Structure 1
Amino acid sequence: MMRNFDAIIVGAGQAGPPLAGRLTAAGMSVALIERKLVGGTCVNTGCMPTKTLVASAYAAHLARRAADFGIATGDVTVDMPAVAARARKVVMDARSGNERWLEGMAGLTFLRGHARFTGPRTIAVDGEEMTAPRIFLNVGGRAIVPDMPGVGDVPHLDNTDMVALEQIPEHLVVVGGSYVGLEFAQMYRRFGAAVTVVERGERLIAHEDAEVSDAVRGILEDEGITVRTGANCIAFARHADGVAVSVDCQAGDPKVIGSHVLLAVGRRPNTDDLGLDLAGIATDAKGYVTVDDILQTNVPGVWALGDCNGRGAFTHTAYNDFEIVAANLLDHDDRTLSERLVGYALYTDPPLGRVGMTQAQAEKTGRPILVSKRPMTRVGRAIEKGETKGFMKIVADAETQRILGAAILGTGGDEAIHGILDMMNADQPVSALRWAVPIHPTVSELIPTLLLGLEPVARA
């Protein structure tokens, strides 16, 4: 027997549950289907556990530096099972809170199971079919296992495994020099592991400006992390001490022997087992569901939100997908993806807060630009905290006087970037932020001074 709903949501990540809340509040009957863990990547294996672990790693790092602040602590040890238990509690509290919310939501039928399309408007869950005029996909993504020689012959970890790890690796080899890999690299170095980062490209976080990549590399190397870039022939083989990772760089040992290997080379969408072909829903070459500017697929009445649509890879973009859909469907608004200005952060210590274009991206547009850069050694708050690594940088359009992008690599950078992000969202000129009066002592107080330093960049 076919069950009928006003809407079906597949996936209980960051977009699905709040959308269910809005739709049911509008009087709709809604089915929400989740095959595994409520909360998606962020709650279970991403933001919440990793940032909890980052906090523990920071505490260990700061304790080791206690003498710098005139404090005596004695030997610093890390109880990894206790660290993991703390992260696990944060996850369980958040997940159970979301589950209670969904289970008590009036108008919602919350189903556990694997959803698959059987047609453009029909979905089956464990043999039970249902239909609705509105279907929303919020199925998320998972870590990629790269097609590298020997990868299937050796034990390896991904981000899901890492957040559950209750031991400190003797030597952690991180394959991948971007956000996930670098956060785990620094975290486990601070827990006490030897760490090597292996990156195929010529530099870390290659889509950032070179000076950002170089500064992040320096921060990691200062803590004893070995960074091997230009590793163009990565391969794996079993070894008596764990795993041998072939690096084949021009300098250094051709192989790195690790007790543990983390694969952090990207993610893929969970779209390969949804029956999308039976619904006629189009995907791109990487499996991401193709959507338009209001998140609709090529099939009328079907939307895709969050990581599975390839239009954002963050918790905040997934939630904003929900906001766009809800505003358009329920509030008679006209919101689009193209209006979205995405900020993001790398949670190494110090963190990197980023928004808009890099200098390299701005230069490629051909427009005349202004650039200013100041070291964190100019920031009183950073000096007082004894955390002066990094810098601030801002890029602006010389003609329109609008900010094009900014990077704050330094203590509090993930928070301070929002002052710039908000000005960009409001489409305000440089002068509007220049004449703001920031609080002293904060990281943000250097931003007006940074703007005063904007100077033209000569075209190459």
Structure 2
Amino acid sequence: MSARAFDAIIIGAGQAGPSLAGRLNDAGMRVAIIERHLVGGTCVNTGCKPTKTLVASAYAVHTARRGGDYGFAVDGPIQIDMPAVAARARKVILDSRAGNETWLAGMTNAELIRGHARFAGPNTVEVAGEQLTAPRIFINVGGRAVVPDMPGLGDVTVLTNTDMVALEVLPRHLVVVGGSYIGLEFAQMYRRFGAEVTIVERSDRLIAREDPDVSAEVRTILEREGIAVRTGADCIGFARNGDEISVSVHCDGNSAPVIGSHVLMAVGRRPNTDDLGLDAAGIDVDARGYITVDDRLQTSVPGVYALGDCNGRGAFTHTAYNDFEIVAANLLDGEDRRVTQRLTGYALYIDPPLGRIGMTEAEAARSGRRLLHAKRAMTRVGRAVEKAETQGFMKVLADADTRRILGAAILGTGGDEAIHGILDMMNADQPLDALRWAVPIHPTVSELIPTLLLDLRPAT
């Protein structure tokens, strides 16, 4: 079989793929970008775009129900049109996907090839019945939801995040298995749409990677909205219960199962690397299937790179995009950018959102540093009071000797935006005193950050 030669091959048209194709195209390289399913990847089709659209719809519903808090009334109960809610999310998906496809089509040196790519050697890929070769190959295949083997799972139908963003019915009772970021966002939005919701989590607290006070406050926020939370679930199993699903929670025989109409499985994600022929190319993966990469994102095979969720070096759209930036800067701009230079911030998009950057308190304590700590309730933030959205708090950790901020959390209205002031200072490696003397705009959530820094005291 004769092979077509390209300057670069990109496998996967997710967040990093089209952007990299654009840079290589502009550099005059002949590029093949291969996509087996939907252009845009997880973010556009089943992740950020549709889920945050649904979050916005749920927020609007919640605000309307709280009209009395703001001095207005809505006649009668709020009516939820789930097909219309789903259609709004679907339009965002389709518009974003079409935008990516149009962008790729306009690249004169890039060719979008539909099909499933598999390696036939270190520099050769087979797709749609032909072979392609290139001295540089970039893997950007993303990930998917994990559906683990649990008792009775084969006897029932469970949903993943992919199914949820297309759901056009309102569950009577949604059981969310998994108390982390994806699960909590869907739990709150569907509770606000009017479903009964129960979260079942194996750990003894929600979002266990966060500090205990963050976990506890998130649980309080969700329970205030009527969401049932059952942590310490040591015997999760499933069985048919008429037309519904019985979800067992605890091994204790006296613990009643949860009877739900729908079950969302949100216990983690896995990389889409199990059917790429990586062995044929000699590309190494770790025990979980993630492609191992060095600090510049090159795999064990020279000239082959892995970007985005499939490399285990980040699980976010923004880290995937930064992977593209690192590779492009190094290959095209003569720079030496590395993954370890990256400070990864992230957010949990419940309402109010959680913005996070840097170390948790437990991580900082293990570092052996002398620590400074400050915390302020959102009830003491003017903007939160004015919006009648005072749940949560903000807190910051710093190194007492270097005067550098080590980590921060803002769980409160605008927290996903306000955290960037701290993220930028950390990224610029500036002492906290520089941020202390900033003059933020009033009234904002960010204006309290210098005041928070003034409150820093030795951690106990």
TM-score w.r.t. the length of structure 1 is: 0.99
For the 8 Å contact 2:354–2:409, the answer to whether it is kept is: yes
Please tell me the residue identity of whatever aligns with 2:8: A
- The corresponding residue for 2:273 is 271
Show the counterpart of 1:380.
Answer: 382
In structure 2, the gaps of 5 or more residues are none
Secondary structure of the residue that 2:447 maps to in structure 1?
A: helix
Match of 1:399 in 2: 401
What is the alpha-carbon distance in structure 2 between the residues aligned to residue 412 and residue 252 of structure 1?
Answer: 43
Give the distance between the partners of 1:84 and 1:402, measured in 2 at CA: 45
- Aligned equivalent of 1:43: 44
Shift of 1:250: 6.2
The 3-state SS of whatever aligns with 1:444 is coil
Q: Deviations over 1:251-275 (max 9, x none)?
A: 9843101000000000000000000
Tell me the residue number matched to 1:223: 225
* 1:280 and 2:282 correspond: yes
Secondary structure (helix, strand or coil) at the match of 1:142 reads strand
Distance 1:32 1:335 in 2: 24
- The corresponding residue for 1:447 is 449
1:317 maps to which of 297, 319, 322:
319
Compared with structure 1, are the counterparts of its residues 101 and 263 closer, same or farther at alpha carbon in structure 2 (3 Å cutoff)? same
- In the alignment, is the contact (CA less than 8 A) between 2:356 and 2:409 conserved in 1? yes
What corresponds to 2:211 in structure 1? 209
Which residue of 2 is the match for residue 100 of structure 1?
A: 102
- Whether contact under 8 Å (2:114, 2:128) holds in the other structure is no
Cα distance between partner residues in 2 of 1:381 and 1:56:
22
TM-superposed CA distance for 1:405, in Å, is 0.3
2:244 is matched with 242
Query: Which segment is superposed worse, 185-194 or 71-80?
Result: 71-80
Counterpart of 1:82 in 2: which secondary structure? helix
Tell me, yes or no, if the aligned pair for 2:141 and 2:310 is still in contact at 8 Å: yes
Cα deviations by residue, 1:211-241 (Å, 9 ceiling, x for unpaired):
0000000000000000000001101111114
The aligned residue for residue 53 of structure 1 is 54
Tell me the residue number matched to 2:78: 76
Aligned mates of 2:100, 2:375 — CA distance in 1: 43
Name the aligned partner's letter for residue 42 of structure 1. Answer: C
RMSD of aligned Cα (Å): 0.9
Q: Secondary structure at the match of 1:395?
A: strand
Note the alpha carbon deviations across 1:313-347, whole angstroms, 9 max, x for none. Answer: 00000000000000000000010000000000000
In structure 1, the residue matched to 2:141 is 139
Q: What pairs with 1:293-442 in structure 2 (closer than 5 Å)?
A: 293-442=295-444
SS in 2 for 1:145: coil
Shift of 1:152: 1.6
In the other structure, the counterpart of 2:176 is 174
CA apart distance, 1:103 = 1.2
Within 2, Cα distance between the matches of 1:295 and 1:182? 31
Percent of residue pairs identical: 74
Cα displacement string for residues 298-318 of structure 1 (whole angstroms, at most 9, x for unaligned residues): 001100000000000000000
Query: Given the two structures, how large is their TM-score scaled by the length of structure 2?
Result: 0.99
- How many residues of Structure 1 are paired with residues of Structure 2 in the alignment? 458
CA–CA distance in structure 1, aligned partners of residues 256 and 300 of structure 2: 48
Which residue identity lines up with residue 16 of structure 2 in the other structure? A
Which deviates more, 235-244 or 44-53?
A: 235-244
Question: Given that residues 305 and 322 in structure 1 are in contact (C-alpha distance below 8 angstroms), is that contact kept between their aligned partners in structure 2?
Answer: yes
> Which residue does the alignment assign to 1:15?
16
Distance 2:446 2:184 in 1: 25
**Aligned partners of 1:345 and 1:351 also within 8 Å:** yes
Distance apart, 1:67 and its partner CA = 1.1
SS of equivalent residue, structure 1 residue 184: helix
Matching of residues 251-262 of structure 1 within 5 Å: 253-262=255-264
- Partner Cα distance (2:414, 2:168) in 1: 29
Of 120, 123, 141, 1:121 maps to: 123
Amino acid at match of 2:123: R
Give yes or no for the alignment of 1:30 onto 2:31: yes
Q: Which moved more, 1:103-112 or 1:251-260?
A: 251-260
Unaligned 5+ residue runs, structure 1?
none
Tell me the secondary structure at the aligned position of residue 71 of structure 1.
coil
Matched, 1:184 2:172: no
